[in-house]
Amino acid sequence: MASEHSVNTTRHAGWLPSQQEALEAWLHGHRQRVEAAGDAPLHPAVQELADFISRNPVVRMEVQRMVEQVPTTRDYRERHLHSVDDLLRSISVVLSSAPEFDADSMVMLPLGGVLDWTTATPAGYALYRDPTVNAELRTLLNAWKEFLDGPDSRYVIADAPGGWKSEAAREAIGIEQFVHDPDDEHWGFASWNDFFTRRFREGQRPVASPDDDAVIVSACESTPYAIRADVAREDEFWVKEQPYSLHDLLAGDPVVDELVGGTVYQAFLSATDYHRWHAPVSGTVVRAFVQPGTYYSEADSEGSDATEPQNSQAYLAHVATRAIIVIDADDPAIGQMAFVGIGMFEVSSCLIDPAVTPGHHLAKGDDLGMFQYGGSTHCLVFRPGAIEGFALQALPRPHDPQAPLVHVRSQIATAAR
């Protein structure tokens, strides 16, 4: 099986349009919405960000630079941001909106679409790694999360242009597989986030070999990205190869000592798929916590010669906000292993299920938690010798539209016997 793989997950997984022209068309429309808003007051969370930028001269310099600079890995035909004020007003309009459906050029990350220009500039690479900036972004994203958690966000769950009840949208998400009320105006969902984290109907994703502890199942409905063996305690995850660095990936958790030299399996979640996590093995929870991190940082190590941004997925596993759950598997060959749920873009709230606490016993397939709105990926980390083999035939090729989707709770690997 291939040991490394690169793919632009934001576009490949449907979070941004696959064609640059489609993204720019959306940005043109968004700019018209911003102009229509005129001089309306900024959203309070955006005004807080504006005040933060104003009182921090180094941050103000970098924000100004990233607006002025031309992206090094994007082929934009038109500049849609001309000033910091443009940027702030564009963000402000997003915070009172929810993602809309578009069969041809869907922008599932509207804030990511606005910031796309800035994230691929030299100044942006630096700014989005700044802890103080990420603290401000966290406040901003939490404010948007409040809107997406509220009933006003349901306006997109409708049979109208941009709505998720249209025939094309119903087919894209396979709504009949999910719990919903077909007779309700909003399918029975209380908010956009409630819709985004919808559950499968009973029997849609059965647990593979529920009585065989040696069978390891997929924790998420996801597309495989990488399988790496003999992973190091510490490595230079910021270089082009993006190797895994266990100390950083697992935020220094004590389980690192047991997992050095082991295997990492990583897979990413698509925009219209299921966004809850499930236990890959039966076992007892050792620790479960959320590690704060970055939101829009990208791996500039991929180089300026790429016509599209190369995948930052492995890099983000070490720096982005993520949930870390350590499980002591019932199968002694597996021993302690870790699930890492990584929020890559937008809100990407990593919410651990309240029952997942130290000492709690999990049956394979049980709930672990969920990603609320935003792009996401996850890793499973195993100690050396724990895995006999993976059930996957091959990892998808870069930008392969036929990349295999692995169903949650289906078999992905077998433990050593």
The arithmetic mean of pLDDT across residues 20-36, rounded, is: 86
Tell me, what's the pLDDT at 309? 36
Is there a contact between 253 and 367 (Cβ–Cβ < 8 Å)?
no
Using 50, 70 and 90 to split pLDDT, how confident is the model at 191? very high
Please report the pLDDT score of residue 347 as a whole number. 67
**Mean pLDDT estimate for the chain:** 88
- Look at residue 400 and tell me whether its pLDDT is greater than 70: no
pLDDT at 84: 95
Predicted pLDDT at 21: 81
- 279 vs 314: which has the higher pLDDT: 279
Choose the weakest-confidence range: 158-162, 211-215, 410-414: 158-162
Give pLDDT tens digits for 316-371.
899 999 999 999 999 999 999 999 999 887 766 899 999 999 999 999 999 999 99
Out of 71-85, 148-162, 265-279, least confident range = 71-85
pLDDT digits (tens, 9 = 90+) for 59-74: 999 999 999 998 876 7
The b/e string for 324-350 (b: 16+ C-beta within 10 A; e otherwise) is bbbbbbbbebbbbbbbbbbbbbbbbbb
Instruction: Report, in angstroms and rounded to the nearest whole number, the Rg of the chain calculated over CA atoms.
Output: 21
Q: Please say if the pLDDT value at position 300 is more than 60.
A: yes
Question: How does residue 129 score in pLDDT terms, banded at 50, 70 and 90?
Answer: very high
Q: Quick one: pLDDT band at residue 394, thresholds 50, 70, 90?
A: low
Place of tokens 């219209």: 272
Q: Please report the pLDDT score of residue 236 as a whole number.
A: 84
Q: What is the per-residue pLDDT for 6?
A: 39
DSSP 249: H
- Give Cα 69 to chain centroid, integer Å: 26
Q: Is the pLDDT of residue 13 over 80?
A: no
Confidence of residue 5 (pLDDT cuts 50, 70, 90): very low
| pTM of this structure | 0.89
Residue 18: predicted pLDDT: 66
Residue 240, Cα to own-chain centre: how many angstroms?
20
C-alpha 180/C-alpha 332 separation (Å) is 40
